[in-house]
Amino acid sequence: MALQAMRNLALQALLAAALAGSAAGGAAVCGDATGDGAVTVTDGVQALRAAAGLSTTCDDGCDFDGNGTITVSDGVNILRKAAGISVVDACDFTGAEANGVVSPALPVFGALTKVPGVSSQASLAAGTCDNDGTITTVGAGSSSIITFSDCRLGNAIVDGTIGRVVLGSGLALGLDALKLRRVRGGETLTLNGTLGVGDMQGAAKLIDGTLEADSPQRGAFTIAFEHIVLAGDGAARQGSLIFDLPATAAGSIARIQIDFANAERPPAIVTLRTQRIVRFLLDRNTGLLHRAA
Ligand SMILES: [Ca+2]
């Protein structure tokens, strides 16, 4: 009886630890398809569904051997883990980490299109948010200040200011503590720095410059805009967005480069601190990276 009681206590402690981990949104667990922090038969079934091409809750946690695809073998190994059988797990959570860096930053394009002279489309240039938040523009002509307050733009809430100065060849935009908060997930990013905006054919604009980014999860890093062509509809159609994460930043990722081109799913190259390269494709609708096949 005493032994059984001790086993029960140990089990409870393990369960409490697992629950605490998931509640804090902590480290992902290899084999955990449902995201509850534990690995059960349900997770194995979800992986087998993914392997069969059926709807599933799977993400990186289902690719048990970390080879980039979810197969029957992954599902079987997750079932083995759920049964308490010793198996080697090698999930690669680079995708989740890369999305933590990229997805809170992409809404900056939505904010830029609200600056007079950046987007020529009246519907985009009009100072309206998708919620009750506000965009206020003070000044006009050669210089103005655009202030965002609790303004939902697509997947993010935007707060802070963008200063705008007309130069001979275009605009200079100064981002002053522009805060982006992703609605789903709640990650935040604060941006400071200057971007140059030049005119191109039609309604398109050319954006160059480097911003200082700061996030509670990552620390400080930079985001470089290299000849990014912003189409009239606010979509990036050419150029590169490069995230440089110094050694002081948290995580295993050193650099992320998204090459926009005209592709519906632009390629993103993630370089880990180990020099290993992992390739992704960006889903423009969700702003999320998915592992390239
Ligand atoms: Ca696999």
Last-in-domain residue among 74, 92, 110: 92
Structure confidence at residue 253 (pLDDT): 95
Assess whether 105 and 123 both reside in one domain: yes
Strand pairing of 134-138 and 156-167?
A: unpaired
Same domain for 180 and 281?
A: yes
For residues 118 and 218, membership in a common domain is answered with: yes
User: How many other C-beta atoms can be found within 10 angstroms of the C-beta atom of residue 122?
Assistant: 7
Asked if the model's pLDDT at residue 16 lies above 60, the reply is no
- Residue 40 CA, ligand 1 centroid: distance in Å: 18
- How far is ligand 1, taken at its centre, from the CA of residue 67, in Å? 5
CATH code of the domain covering residue 79: 1.10.1330
CA-to-CA distance for 58 and 96, rounded, in angstroms?
Answer: 12
- Ligand 1 center–CA 39 separation, angstroms: 16
For the chain, what is the domain count? 2
Q: Tell me: pLDDT of 161 over 50.
A: yes
| Whether the predicted pLDDT of 22 surpasses 70 | no
Q: How far is the CA of 250 from the centre of ligand 1 (A)?
A: 26
Which H or E run contains 194? Answer: strand 188-199
Instruction: Determine which of 144-148, 228-232, 239-243 has the lowest per-residue pLDDT on average.
Output: 228-232
271 and 155, same domain (yes or no): yes
Beta bridge partners of 171: 166, 197
pLDDT value, residue 227: 96
Q: What is the span of the domain harbouring residue 23?
A: 2-92
Please tell me whether residues 158 and 240 are part of one structural domain: yes
How far, in Å, CA of 234 to CA of 37, rounded? 38
CA of 11 to the centre of ligand 1 (A): 29
What global pTM score does this model have? 0.78
